[in-house]
Amino acid sequence: MRQAQRGDTVQVHYTGKLDDGTVFDSSQDRDPAEFKLGGSQMIRGLQDAVIGMCVGDSKTSKIVADDAYGPRVEKLVTELDHDRFPEDMKPTVGQRLQLVQTDSRKVFATVKAISDSGVTIDANHFLAGKDLTFDIHLVAIL
C-alpha cells in the first residue's frame, strides 16, 4: 500500500488537543483538511506526522511548540494608546483585531487588557508556545 510522502496532496481528518485535553480544533464535523505535504498550508509537525501513513491509517502524534506555532514572543505583546483606535471603536478584552503595519502587512492580535493608559494587545498566535496533540486519520492521497 502506498505511503504518503513529501509532495503528495492528502486529505486528513484530525482533532487537535492541548496538554490538558481541551480540543482547540477538529475536522470531524466538516470535510477533511486537504493540503500538500511540504507546503505551507498546515503546520510542519502535522505534515511530518502524516508522512509514512497509508490511506485508512490513524495515529496520535504529539507536536512540540517549535513544530507547531512556534514559541511565544513577548515583544509581540504591546500596549497601544487609546488614540491609535478609531473614535467609534471600543476594544474589549478577548476581541481579535486585524491591524495594518506601516509596511501594509496585516497582523492579527488579541486584546488582552484595557486600562486608562492604553490597550494591551498580543500578536502571538493563540497556540504559540504550546505543545499540541493530534489524532490523525489519513482519508486520501490525491
Q: Are 121 and 80 in contact (CB under 8 A)?
A: yes
Inside any domain, residue 137? yes
Are residues 13 and 49 located together in one domain of the fold? yes
Question: Going residue by residue through the chain (142 aa), what tens digit of pLDDT does each one get?
Answer: 999 999 999 999 999 999 999 999 999 999 999 999 999 999 999 999 999 999 999 999 999 999 999 999 999 999 999 998 889 999 999 999 998 888 999 989 999 999 999 999 999 999 999 999 999 999 999 9
Task: Map grid coordinates 492580535 to a residue.
Answer: 109
Neighbours of 37 (CB within 10 A): 19
Given this model, what pLDDT does residue 100 score? 85
Single pTM value for the model? 0.85
Inside any domain, residue 1? no
Inside any domain, residue 36? yes
Inside any domain, residue 2? no
Query: β-strands 119-122, 106-114: how paired?
Result: antiparallel
| Number of domains the chain is built from | 2
Beta-sheet strands, E only, within the chain: 9-17, 23-26, 33-36, 58-63, 77-80, 96-100, 106-114, 119-122, 132-141
Are residues 46 and 16 located together in one domain of the fold? yes
Are residues 133 and 116 located together in one domain of the fold? no
